């Protein structure tokens, strides 16, 4: 199992000691507090779980700008996206040295973390524009990530944090949410050394299933980590509980036992394409994975990125020493009518478009909402059944 990013051992920011945690919760009642954004809360969850190792807290403007422009902090830590606590109004915590961060996603806004305030800085319009362009490759407000990044405020509160809980993820997804240190522990118990990770924000159809199997077999891996995003998505994406049910059913029926870990992490999707692919690689390295599958339009949305830009960034912008995790490059994957199996299209240049079973997302949603069965070449029937019930429920 490979080392975490940036340190010899994982350093999660969650306060493990129950007595210390209780004392911090008590302290939070007597210090200034602020309700933070969903993005900042997700950053706290990721730092608490060790996913964002070796970061100690939220970045200041200098670090955020350096990360956006050069993919490294001012002290040289390789990092692909700014990790910020942005506020619209910082007047409630003016001159405070220590503050309580309240969770916007849980009723009553309980304290999710305590932060030592090193600086409160206002980000200029030009700085926001540069960060947005570098990270998302667009400033288009129609891009969900760009819009979200620019909607939470311009006051950056920087400094280290102590994380007190994992927001709603532990309670809403008790069987699926796992921290990076829990995943490392589970893989150690299984004796896995070479592990391939698959990132998903969608239910897995046969092409995704076979892609995991291909990577597992070609790399001669010990196991597969299917790692799903559990946080906020754009309108129209499948809810996490439905995705979870689909993936678990697929693994139960179509994979051998003890070869797949089905887990999830608490983060809001950025839709940042190549930059987010690099972030995905970092936190899978922190989980202990040796390989990450990066396929077509990884972490993309609309037509903002080229089909394989997320693979190209690792060759063109990520220097060899930056990460230990390796990338398994995946091509377009589809069911071949000629061969009666799912294949990567680049491996079969003799095939034409008509040799594959291909369905658009719109067509799939239309069929499911009408209660029509998806082709077995496209989706396992057990998975399609769960999706169909969800789409039909939307019309009730």
Rounded CA separation 193/389 (Å): 38
Catalytic residue among 98, 201, 213, 296: 201
Strand blocks (E) in the chain: 33-35, 57-58, 86-87, 98-102, 111-116, 119-122, 155-163, 195-200, 223-229, 260-265, 291-294, 326-329, 333-336, 341-344, 356-357
Phi-psi region at 71: left, alpha or beta (left = phi > 0; alpha = psi -120 to 50): left
Phi-psi region at 302: left, alpha or beta (left = phi > 0; alpha = psi -120 to 50): left
Rounded CA separation 20/164 (Å): 10
Rounded CA separation 342/333 (Å): 7
Residue-wise over 243-259: b if at least 16 C-beta within 10 A, else e? bbbbbbbbbeebbeeeb
Catalytic residue among 98, 202, 296, 365: 202
Longest C-alpha distance within the chain, in Å?
70
Rounded CA separation 251/249 (Å): 5
Rg (CA), the chain: 21
Does 137 qualify as catalytic in the annotation?
no
Rounded CA separation 6/77 (Å): 7
Does 150 qualify as catalytic in the annotation?
no
Residue 255 — φ and ψ, nearest 5°?
A: -120, 150
- Tell me the catalytic residues: 201-202
């Amino acid at each position: 199992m490979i080392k975490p990013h940036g340190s010899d051992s994982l350093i999660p920011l969650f306060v493990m000691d129950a007595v210390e945690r209780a004392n911090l919760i008590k302290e939070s009642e007597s210090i200034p507090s602020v309700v933070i954004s969903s993005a900042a809360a997700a950053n706290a969850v990721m730092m608490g779980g060790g996913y964002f190792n070796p970061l100690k807290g939220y970045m200041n403007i200098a670090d955020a700008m350096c990360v956006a422009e050069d993919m490294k902090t001012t002290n040289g830590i390789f990092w692909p996206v700014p990790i910020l606590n942005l506020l619209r109004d910082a007047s409630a915590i003016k001159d405070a040295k220590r503050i309580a961060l309240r969770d916007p996603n849980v009723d009553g806004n309980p304290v999710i973390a305590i932060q030592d305030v090193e600086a409160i800085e206002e980000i200029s319009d030009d700085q926001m524009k540069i960060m947005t362009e570098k990270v998302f490759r667009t400033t288009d407000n129609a891009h969900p990530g760009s819009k979200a990044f620019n909607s939470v405020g311009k006051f950056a509160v920087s400094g280290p944090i102590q994380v007190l809980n994992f927001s709603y993820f532990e309670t809403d997804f008790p069987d699926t949410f796992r921290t990076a240190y829990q995943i490392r522990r589970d893989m150690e118990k299984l004796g896995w050394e070479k592990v391939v990770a698959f990132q998903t924000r969608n239910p897995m159809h046969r092409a995704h299933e076979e892609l995991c199997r291909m990577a597992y077999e070609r790399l001669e891996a010990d196991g597969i980590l299917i790692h799903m995003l559990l946080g906020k998505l754009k309108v129209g994406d499948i809810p996490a509980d439905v995705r979870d049910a689909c993936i678990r059913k697929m693994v139960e029926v179509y994979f051998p036992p003890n070869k797949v870990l089905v887990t999830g992490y608490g983060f809001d999707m950025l839709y940042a394409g190549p930059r987010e692919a690099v972030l995905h690689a970092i936190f899978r390295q922190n989980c202990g994975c040796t390989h990450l599958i990066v396929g077509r339009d990884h972490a993309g949305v609309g037509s903002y990125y080229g089909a394989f830009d997320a693979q190209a960034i690792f060759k063109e912008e990520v220097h060899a020493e930056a990460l230990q995790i390796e990338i398994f490059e995946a091509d377009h994957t589809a069911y071949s009518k000629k061969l009666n199996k799912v294949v990567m299209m680049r491996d079969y240049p003799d095939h034409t478009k008509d040799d594959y079973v291909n369905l658009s997302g719109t067509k799939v949603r239309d069929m499911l909402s009408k209660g029509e069965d998806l082709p077995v070449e496209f989706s396992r029937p057990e998975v399609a059944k769960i999706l169909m019930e969800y789409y039909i429920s939307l019309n009730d």
